[in-house]
Chain A
Amino acid sequence: MNLCQTLNNAMDIAMEKDPTACVLGEDVAFGGVFRCTVGLRDKYGADRVFNTPLCEQGIAGFGIGLAVAGATAIAEIQFGDYIFPAFDQFVNEAAKYRYRSGNMFNCGKVTFRTACGAVGHGGLYHSQSPEGYFAHASGLRIVYPRGPIMAKGLLLSCVRDDNPCLFLEPKVLYRLGSEEVPVADYTIPLSKAEVVREGKDLTMVAWGTQVHVLLEAAEMAKEKLGVECEVIDLRTILPWDIDTVATSVCKTGKLIVSHEAPQTQGFGGEISSTIQEQCFLNLEAPITRICGWDTPFPHVYEPFYIPSKWRVFDAIKKLSHY
Chain B
Amino acid sequence: MLSSRVHQFSRICCVGARCVAAASRAGYATTESDAFRLKEFSEKYLHGRKVSFTENLEFICPEKVPVLPIYRVTDTNGEIMDSSQDPHLDKETSLKIYHTMSLLNAMDKILYDSQRQGRIAFYMTNFGEEGCHLGSAAALKNDDLIYGQYREVGVLMWRGYGLEQIVSQCYGNADDLVKGKQMPMHYGSPESHFVTISSPLATQIPQAVGSAYAFKRANNGKIVMCYLGDGSASEGDAHAAFNNAATLRCPVIFFVRNNGYAISTPTNEQYGGDGVAGKGAGYGLYTIRVDGNDVLACYNAVKAARELAVQNKPCLIEAMTYRVGHHSTSDDSTAYRSSEEVKAWDVHENPIKRFQTYLKKNGWWDEEAESNRLKEEKKHILKVFLNGEKTKFLHPAELFEDVYDVWFFLIKTKPSCCS
Asked if A and B are interacting partners, one says yes
Contact across chains for B209 and A100 when beta carbons are under 8 A apart: no
Inter-chain contacts of B419 with A (CB < 8 A): 281
CB distance from B205 to the nearest CB of A (A): 7
Chain B contacts with A in 207-233, Cβ cutoff 8 A: 207-218
Contact across chains for A88 and B203 when beta carbons are under 8 A apart: yes
Inter-chain contacts of B408 with A (CB < 8 A): 191, 239
B11 at the interface (CB under 8 A from A): no
CB distance from B253 to the nearest CB of A (A): 14
Interface 0/1 of B166-191, CB less than 8 Å to A: 00000000001111011000101110
Residue of A nearest to B220 (CB): A69
Contact across chains for B196 and A104 when beta carbons are under 8 A apart: yes
Contact across chains for A240 and B213 when beta carbons are under 8 A apart: no
CB distance from A232 to the nearest CB of B (A): 14
Q: Given contacts A64-B207, A65-B211, A85-B236, is CB(A105)–CB(B415) below 8 Å?
A: no
Contact across chains for B404 and A58 when beta carbons are under 8 A apart: no
Chain A contacts with B in 284-304, Cβ cutoff 8 A: none
Inter-chain contacts of B182 with A (CB < 8 A): 100
Inter-chain contacts of A47 with B (CB < 8 A): 216-217
Contact across chains for A58 and B241 when beta carbons are under 8 A apart: yes
Residue of B nearest to A96 (CB): B198
Inter-chain contacts of B200 with A (CB < 8 A): 88, 92-93
Contact of A53 among B181, B188, B236, B247 (CB under 8 A): B247
Complex-state Cα separation, A69 to B252, whole angstroms: 13
- The size of the chain A interface, using a CB distance under 8 A, is 61
Residue of B nearest to A55 (CB): B240
Contact across chains for B209 and A106 when beta carbons are under 8 A apart: no
Contact of B402 among A62, A99, A279 (CB under 8 A): A99
Complex-state Cα separation, A104 to B198, whole angstroms: 13
Q: Given contacts A68-B195, A105-B190, is CB(A58)–CB(B244) below 8 Å?
A: yes
Contact of B210 among A64, A251, A281 (CB under 8 A): A64
Chain A contacts with B in 230-258, Cβ cutoff 8 A: 239-240, 242-243, 246-247, 250-251
B410 at the interface (CB under 8 A from A): yes
A163 at the interface (CB under 8 A from B): yes
Q: Given contacts A92-B198, A250-B418, is CB(A242)–CB(B207) below 8 Å?
A: no
CB distance from A166 to the nearest CB of B (A): 14
CB distance from A160 to the nearest CB of B (A): 11
Complex-state Cα separation, A239 to B408, whole angstroms: 8
A282 at the interface (CB under 8 A from B): yes
Inter-chain contacts of A35 with B (CB < 8 A): none
Complex-state Cα separation, A139 to B205, whole angstroms: 21
CB distance from B358 to the nearest CB of A (A): 36
Contact of B217 among A22, A57, A162 (CB under 8 A): A22
Contact of B181 among A70, A88, A102, A279 (CB under 8 A): A102
Lowest 9 CB-CB distances: which A-B pairs, in order? A65-B210, A61-B206, A58-B240, A250-B417, A69-B214, A101-B196, A65-B207, A69-B211, A102-B179
Interface residues in chain A, defined as those with a beta carbon under 8 Å from any beta carbon in chain B: 20, 22, 47-48, 50, 52-53, 55, 57-58, 60-71, 73, 85, 88-89, 92-93, 96-106, 108, 138-139, 141, 161-163, 191, 239-240, 242-243, 246-247, 250-251, 274, 278-282
Given contacts A99-B402, A102-B188, 15 further A-B contacts (CB under 8 A): A20-B214, A55-B236, A58-B241, A61-B209, A61-B210, A65-B206, A65-B213, A68-B207, A69-B215, A100-B182, A103-B179, A104-B177, A108-B405, A242-B410, A250-B417
